Amino acid sequence: MSMEAMYRELGVSPRVYARGEQVLEGLRERFAEIDAVAEYNQLKVLHAMQESRVGAACFAATTGYGYDDVGRTTLEKVYAACFHTEAALVRPQITCGTHALAVALGANLLPGDELLSPVGRPYDTLEEVIGIRPSACSLREYGVTYRQVDLLPDGGFDYDGIRAAIGPKTKLITIQRSKGYATRPSFSVEEIGRLIAFCKDCKPDVVCMVDNCYGEFVERQEPSDVGADMVVGSLIKNPGGGLAPVGGYICGTERCVSRCAYRLSAPGLGQEVGANLGLMPALYQGFFLAPTVVAGALKGAIFAANLYEGLGFRVVPGGAEARHDIIQAVELGSKEAMVAFCKGIQAAAPVDSYVTPYPWDMPGYEDQVIMAAGAFVQGSSIELSADGPIRPPYAVYFQGGLTWQHAKVGILLSLQQLADAGLAEL
């Protein structure tokens, strides 16, 4: 069977397939750059594993308290070596990215302290963690105040505003690398480094934390290479490589990370407890594969940007722009178009390809959210997925794909759905 016929069998028409091939012609150089970053990061991870003396004993399961868990301790050494930090907390007991961020904030802010976001509104779920939206057990309930400095209209940092906002109470500065559900640009590691340097210049002892979700391995450097005291993320996104079934990480200074460990388990216990429950092989192997999995996801994001931009949709980032995370926003302009796009992504999934996604009231989010994901790991967004809150400008956020080839067919099927519904003009 020809390639075109194979695609047709999966529901992609010859016209949509041809359109995709035409777009790909122009992307060879971009793809070669992505492969070079993956190669660099593969070496970085490999070196971290060798240096930390990963051995077969690391893969054994532990239960109960998990005292002397060599697999857990060594994995934390690997993360610290890779992110170039003094310490790391990498645990299946961290349930998701929001949890990791809540632990990092809660552990390092005390009553009377102030938290500052110099990059505008944080990711939706953080609003309840912070207490921007009233919520039980928020930082606000515990007497931690919050300030925010919005980005300038051109997306740049408002340095004057930030200087004015840093005061005697400012204890921790949170910087979100990825745009999340906003249509602002994501920040490069270099830009984050400049912002951290500015903040530390205003107040040398302020703690700078970076929400690193979706950013890991996109560049050669991580925010911890440019002055961040803590970098925080989810293992069912980039660093889990698609194999980690659960978990989160916090890499950073010994002081910050040990506080996080006491907050996660209990004062006095800290990093010494936490059984690995047999998950170590997946966490190690996933981290090993993460650089190449991220490369596949990046190719998918760039392909989607160029395909949809060519059809007249606004895409963030633009097709030719540099990438700082694996997320691609496509502004579709209506709820119907969001549903059609997500249907296409869902139809391309290896799992649950037969179900239809609908908007729903998801915990932690203010607006209804639509999600398409047919993943091996529930909610994993390093696997091919698309989601977005049902609100103007009706943007879907597309991300992931364990392989570039899977991302490609998913994107083509999303366009097929839009074309079939008369919502996109080929």
Q: Which of 83, 214, 284, 404 binds ligand PLP (CB under 6 A)?
A: 214
Q: How far is the CB of 34 from ligand PLP (least distance, A)?
A: 20
Q: Which of 85, 93, 178, 265 binds ligand PLP (CB under 6 A)?
A: 178
Does 125 interact with ligand PLP (rule: CB under 6 A)? yes
Q: How far is the CB of 112 from ligand PLP (least distance, A)?
A: 26
Does 180 interact with ligand PLP (rule: CB under 6 A)? yes
Stretch that binds ligand PLP, among 174-182, 294-302, 331-339, 354-362 (CB under 6 A): 174-182
Q: Which of 81, 96, 260, 330 binds ligand PLP (CB under 6 A)?
A: 96
Q: Which of 176, 188, 346, 416 binds ligand PLP (CB under 6 A)?
A: 176
What is the H or E stretch that residue 407 is in?
A: helix 404-420
- Site for ligand PLP, residues 400 to 419, rule: CB under 6 A: none
Q: Which of 20, 66, 92, 97 binds ligand PLP (CB under 6 A)?
A: 97
Does 216 interact with ligand PLP (rule: CB under 6 A)? no
In SS3 terms, 314-347 reads as: EEECCCCCCCCCCCEEEECCCHHHHHHHHHHHHH
List beta partners, residue 117: 148
Task: State the residue for tokens 């994993």.
Answer: 380
- Site for ligand PLP, residues 225 to 254, rule: CB under 6 A: 234
**Contact predicate 374/304, CB 8 Å:** no
Closest residue by beta carbon to ligand PLP: 97
Give the single-character DSSP code of 384.
Answer: S
Please give the structure tokens belonging to residue 213.
């979700």
Does 211 interact with ligand PLP (rule: CB under 6 A)? yes
Question: How far apart are the C-alpha atoms of 398 and 131, rounded to whole Å?
Answer: 28
Distances (CA, A) of 323 to 83, 328, 350: 20, 9, 27
Please give the structure tokens belonging to residue 227.
């002055």
Does 288 interact with ligand PLP (rule: CB under 6 A)? no
List beta partners, residue 248: 91, 234
Amino acid present at 276: N
Does 274 interact with ligand PLP (rule: CB under 6 A)? no
Residues in the chain: 426
Angle at 234 between CA 229 and CA 238, to 5 degrees: 100
Stretch that binds ligand PLP, among 172-180, 192-200, 253-261, 343-351 (CB under 6 A): 172-180
Q: How far is the CB of 273 from ligand PLP (least distance, A)?
A: 23
Does 123 interact with ligand PLP (rule: CB under 6 A)? yes
Nearer to ligand PLP, 114 or 216 (CB): 216
Does 223 interact with ligand PLP (rule: CB under 6 A)? no
- Site for ligand PLP, residues 327 to 366, rule: CB under 6 A: none
Amino acid present at 94: I
Q: How far is the CB of 409 from ligand PLP (least distance, A)?
A: 24
CA within 13 Å, CB half, 359: 19
Stretch that binds ligand PLP, among 176-184, 238-246, 315-323, 368-376 (CB under 6 A): 176-184
Does 93 interact with ligand PLP (rule: CB under 6 A)? no
Q: How far is the CB of 213 from ligand PLP (least distance, A)?
A: 3
Q: b/e string for 121-140 if b means 16 or more Cβ within 10 A?
A: bbbbbbbbbbbbeeeeebbb
Does 380 interact with ligand PLP (rule: CB under 6 A)? no
Strand pairing report for 207-211 and 170-176: parallel
Q: How far is the CB of 167 from ligand PLP (least distance, A)?
A: 26
Q: Whose CA is closest to 418, among 96, 100, 310, 426?
A: 426
Stretch that binds ligand PLP, among 66-74, 78-86, 209-217, 365-373 (CB under 6 A): 209-217
3-state secondary structure of 193: helix
**Contact predicate 45/288, CB 8 Å:** yes
Does 213 interact with ligand PLP (rule: CB under 6 A)? yes
Does 389 interact with ligand PLP (rule: CB under 6 A)? no
Question: How far apart are the C-alpha atoms of 387 and 163, rounded to whole Å?
Answer: 35
Distances (CA, A) of 219 to 39, 40, 44, 311, 395: 11, 9, 12, 29, 25
Does 92 interact with ligand PLP (rule: CB under 6 A)? no
Task: Kindly list the residues in this chain that would bind ligand PLP in the complex (CB under 6 A).
Answer: 96-98, 123, 125, 176, 178, 180, 211, 213-214, 234
